[in-house]
């Protein structure tokens, strides 16, 4: 089966995003708006096995809030958004494969 992004790759990218978020929090711990997105970043690892709609909602959340941040923080948000786009494409491809199979 063709895969846009494997589960291992997805989890690896999420772990990198979590690590980068933690580093940025250490550099400026007083940024409450950036601290508030932390739980959302940590919840990303649960998205691979869930339905596509959850990934879409998370992507919309990160797109909405990326405008609030400076360059480095915005870059992290864009990276997460791109990762979620790959996951959504993977889910679309997966659902199309299932629907085209004949019993």
49: containing domain: 7-93
- Evaluate if residue 1 carries a pLDDT over 50: no
Of 22, 28, 17, 33, the C-alpha closest to 81 is 17
DSSP per position, 47-82: STTS-HHHHHHHHHHHHHHGGGS-HHHHHHHHHHHH
Count of structural domains within the chain = 1
Q: Is residue 87 a part of any domain in this protein?
A: yes
- Evaluate if residue 46 carries a pLDDT over 70: yes
- Evaluate if residue 61 carries a pLDDT over 70: yes
Q: Is residue 85 a part of any domain in this protein?
A: yes
- Compute the average pLDDT of residues 40-52: 91
Q: Using an 8 Å Cβ cutoff, are 41 and 18 in contact?
A: yes
- Evaluate if residue 29 carries a pLDDT over 50: yes
Of 1, 73, 82, the C-alpha closest to 38 is 73
Q: Is residue 101 a part of any domain in this protein?
A: no
Q: Is residue 1 a part of any domain in this protein?
A: no
Distance CA 77, CA 39 (A): 14
Q: Is residue 25 a part of any domain in this protein?
A: yes
Q: Is residue 98 a part of any domain in this protein?
A: no
Q: Is residue 23 a part of any domain in this protein?
A: yes
- Compute the average pLDDT of residues 73-93: 92
3-state secondary structure of 69: coil
- Evaluate if residue 94 carries a pLDDT over 90: no
Q: Is residue 48 a part of any domain in this protein?
A: yes
């Amino acid at each position: 089966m063709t895969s846009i992004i494997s589960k291992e790759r997805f989890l690896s990218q999420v772990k990198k995003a979590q690590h980068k978020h933690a580093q940025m929090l250490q550099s400026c711990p007083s940024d409450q708006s950036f601290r508030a997105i932390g739980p959302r970043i940590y919840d990303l690892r649960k998205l691979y096995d869930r339905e596509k709609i959850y990934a879409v909602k998370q992507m919309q959340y990160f797109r909405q809030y990326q405008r609030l941040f400076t360059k480095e923080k915005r870059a992290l948000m864009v990276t997460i958004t791109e990762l979620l786009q790959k996951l959504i494409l993977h889910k679309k491809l997966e659902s199309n494969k299932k629907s085209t199979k004949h019993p």
